[in-house]
Amino acid sequence: MIENGKRVSEVDLAHAVLAQEGRALYFRDLITKVLERKDGQNHFLPHAMAEVHTQINMDSRFVYMGKGMWGLHEWVPQRGGVVLDENERPAVRGSSGLRREKLLAEIQQQDCVTTTEEDNE
């Protein structure tokens, strides 16, 4: 497909299809719509479908939603809220990091005690 004098790639067409739909699509439906927009034909070769699927899979703008459904990465809520710049990050570890270290220390201490008891027997 040519738009504004430039050839539009299949992956860009897939992005446009999902943005227009506004919801995740089953991969075969998405690829069929992409190939219809590209060629305007209803018969698709399996290798053409596989090629488009591979391109979608490798492009970070897309996210696999499960059960064959693909959506746009921008639709997925970001974890953790605000992303801090490297200079803005606190030097103190979070409570989960401290808790993890404490648990590891307890496990190591229990292993030492167990080993010592086995050696004494």
Taking only the tens place, the pLDDT of each residue in 45-66 is: 788 889 999 999 999 999 999 9
E strands present in 1-121: 2-3, 6-7, 25-26, 62-66, 69-72
By CB atoms closer than 10 A (0-12, 13-18, 19+), residue 1 is: middle
CA–CA distance from 40 to each of 1, 29, 32, 43, 86 (Å)? 9, 15, 10, 9, 48
pLDDT confidence tier of residue 95, bands split at 50, 70 and 90: low
The pTM (predicted TM-score) of the whole model is 0.59
pLDDT confidence tier of residue 88, bands split at 50, 70 and 90: very low
φ/ψ (deg, to 5) at 70: -120, 140
Q: Which tokens is 86 given?
A: 């490297």
CATH 1.10.357 given to domain 2-75: no
Residue 26 identity (one-letter amino acid): Y
Domain edges within the chain: 2-75
| Residue 19, number of CB atoms within 10 A of its CB | 12
Quick one: pLDDT at residue 57? Answer: 94
